[in-house]
């Protein structure tokens, strides 16, 4: 099954991605991973992307699309793939549509996991992480045994600089501004399926799997 996974920060997209790739034995592909892999392998497009990144520029769409094509054409995508963080714009979505048709690996489902802004803010702003070992916590749902102290190594728990309400509202504003046209793009093609990210993780996973299984029949 060829899947695009979408959702704002804090909606639980990462958790569901891990579960889906495990169940269906398909690769979890993000643009960051693709860039790193292409640069590590020293491909022509990878070296070109590295030049832009090293100079502090955004990688142009034509280079990004070329790297996506290389990645989706690999053998481990024969059974499917889960594409995360791409496309981000309508031109990218149109280019992805063209290239996946050309290589016979068209997108079959777009899973959009969403939650209301209040819940997203609660989830993100409640995050804490151990400064020493990186173990994650949450002030509501994953509390340490001793407040402010890591259970694993005893290090201090901190809140990341961008895990505050003001920064998150800016990130969400950019996300929705960018994503709304994409949701419309995929809805018109009958590929978009939206899910409530506030539901229990296991209930949400079952709903997504039910959709995938129905599509596979």
Q: Which residues are catalytic?
A: 13, 88, 127, 160, 171
Contact 87, 183 (CB under 8 A): no
Residues contacting residue 109 through CB under 8 Å, at least 6 positions apart: 1, 2, 3, 4, 191, 193, 211, 212, 215
For 145, other C-beta atoms within 10 Å of its C-beta total: 7
Strand partners, 196: 114
Contact 199, 11 (CB under 8 A): no
Secondary structure class of 82 (helix, strand, coil): strand
């Amino acid at each position: 099954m060829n899947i695009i996974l979408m959702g704002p920060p804090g909606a639980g997209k990462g958790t569901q991605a891990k579960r889906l790739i495990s169940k269906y034995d398909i690769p979890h592909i993000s643009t960051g991973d693709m860039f790193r892999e292409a640069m590590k392998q020293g491909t022509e497009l990878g070296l070109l992307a590295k030049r832009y990144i090293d100079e502090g520029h955004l990688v142009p769409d034509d280079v990004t699309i070329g790297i996506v094509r290389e990645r989706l054409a690999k053998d481990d995508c024969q059974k499917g793939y889960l594409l995360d963080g791409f496309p981000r714009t309508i031109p990218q979505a149109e280019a992805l549509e063209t290239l996946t048709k050309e290589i016979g690996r068209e997108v079959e489902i777009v899973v959009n996991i969403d939650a209301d802004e209040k819940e997203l803010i609660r989830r993100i702003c409640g995050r804490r992480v151990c400064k020493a070992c990186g173990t994650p916590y949450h002030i509501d749902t994953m509390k340490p045994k001793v407040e402010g102290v890591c259970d694993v190594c005893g290090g201090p728990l901190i809140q990341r600089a961008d895990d505050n309400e003001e920064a998150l509202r800016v990130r969400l504003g950019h996300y929705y501004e960018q994503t709304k046209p994409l949701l419309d793009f995929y809805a018109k093609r009958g590929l978009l399926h939206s899910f409530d990210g506030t539901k229990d993780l296991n209930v949400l996973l079952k709903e997504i799997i039910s959709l995938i299984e129905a599509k596979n029949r």
